[in-house]
Amino acid sequence: MRSALLTLLALAAPQVLAGINWDVFEHGVVPTFKWSRPFPDDGSDPGGFHVNCKAKKTFHAKMYKLFDLPAQPPGGLAPWHDAIEDFMGHLDFMGSWDGVDHKGQEREIVVMEWKDVPLPVRHWIEEQQADPSEGNKKKWFFGVFEKPKEPGERIFGTVTPKVAAPAATESPQEGQAHPTHDAQPVKDLKDEDKILVFPGGAIYEILPLWVAQGSGACERELNNIAKYKHQAIEHSVIAWVTDHTKPQRDLGKRDMQFTIEAMAVTETEEGKYTRLMWERMYRNVRRHERKQQREERQKARREIQHGVTRDEL
């Protein structure tokens, strides 16, 4: 099946092969992965949109499988074994690149130096983890861990986020409680003393933030995460992991790279008309399918009530 599909694609559109993640076909995708590539594989702009600006960056990381956790570095993550297992246990696995689910101990996680993570991403992660509300814990996609200071030291939890102190000039309004200062002191760690751990699928939640810094005219747009959409619509920001390498595991290496591209787009009038037409057509098709299913169920009930049996032969 895969061989036939590869041959067909090679004949029809050779330029798209580099953008295909074959693991999607071999292993499947986690049910919660809601993203799909929002622009063409061949590098052309999305149809029906004016591209206001775009940005692209490549990052270095290491990628491990869960069965690597007990092994010592550089092949494994033994110092963080318990901490990573605890962190991964609090959320549903978000998949690897493109949401791929290798399942069980074959599942992949990405590890980066905290200092190599762009500032907008660091700030977003710290803001989410500083909010202890139950609803916000669903956004704890990324684990920040301290590096061991000496051989044999083990890490048992994530780094405690810093709590912003209230401004000295602020005073509570009438009827409001005075701010409390009972937050526990947080150890001040240098950026080079921390690592970031996450399943590759988590990155899609905030892709534009990874390429926003230094993107010139695009920086303000890409930092506005509210404009980030699954698919281009009206005035929005779209992004994708356009390339990712695999570690040379047979050589004992875990190094890999991933590339993110993002763009701010504005829908043209013609593009909007076409999109709305296809949306209406899709709704009508789905409505017709539901009607057929409903009629078939009603027919089956009537046949049961009247004792009708069908001979499928």
Distance from C-alpha of 85 to C-alpha of 158, rounded to nearest angstrom:
11
pLDDT tens digits, 64-75 = 999 999 999 999
- The domain total for the chain is 1
Distance from C-alpha of 273 to C-alpha of 277, rounded to nearest angstrom:
6
pLDDT given at position 178: 39
Distance from C-alpha of 211 to C-alpha of 261, rounded to nearest angstrom:
7
Length of the chain: 313
pLDDT of residue 233 exceeding 70: yes
Instruction: Name the residue range of residue 234's domain.
Output: 21-29+46-159+187-267
Handedness of CA 220, 222, 226, 228 (dihedral sign): positive
pLDDT tens digits, 263-294 = 999 987 676 756 667 667 778 778 888 888 88
Instruction: Rank 16-20, 23-27, 69-73, 284-288 by mean pLDDT and report only the highest.
Output: 69-73
Q: Quick check: is 197 in a domain?
A: yes
Distance from C-alpha of 118 to C-alpha of 60, rounded to nearest angstrom:
12
Contacts of 169 (CB under 8 A, 6+ apart): none
The kind and range of the H/E element at 39 are none
Arithmetic mean of pLDDT, 144-158: 93
Distance from C-alpha of 300 to C-alpha of 295, rounded to nearest angstrom:
9
Mean pLDDT over the full length of the chain: 82
pLDDT given at position 21: 82
Contacts of 22 (CB under 8 A, 6+ apart): 2
Q: Quick check: is 306 in a domain?
A: no
Distance from C-alpha of 282 to C-alpha of 287, rounded to nearest angstrom:
8
pLDDT given at position 22: 87
Least confident span in 135-149, 235-249, 257-271: 135-149
- Give 253 or 172, the one with higher predicted confidence: 253
pLDDT of residue 1 exceeding 90: no
Distance from C-alpha of 284 to C-alpha of 278, rounded to nearest angstrom:
10
Q: Quick check: is 311 in a domain?
A: no
Q: Quick check: is 191 in a domain?
A: yes
Contacts of 83 (CB under 8 A, 6+ apart): 143, 145, 155, 156, 157, 158
Give the chain's end-to-end CA distance (angstroms, integer).
31
Q: Quick check: is 310 in a domain?
A: no
Question: Do residues 247 and 261 lie in contact, with contact meaning Cβ atoms separated by under 8 Å?
Answer: no
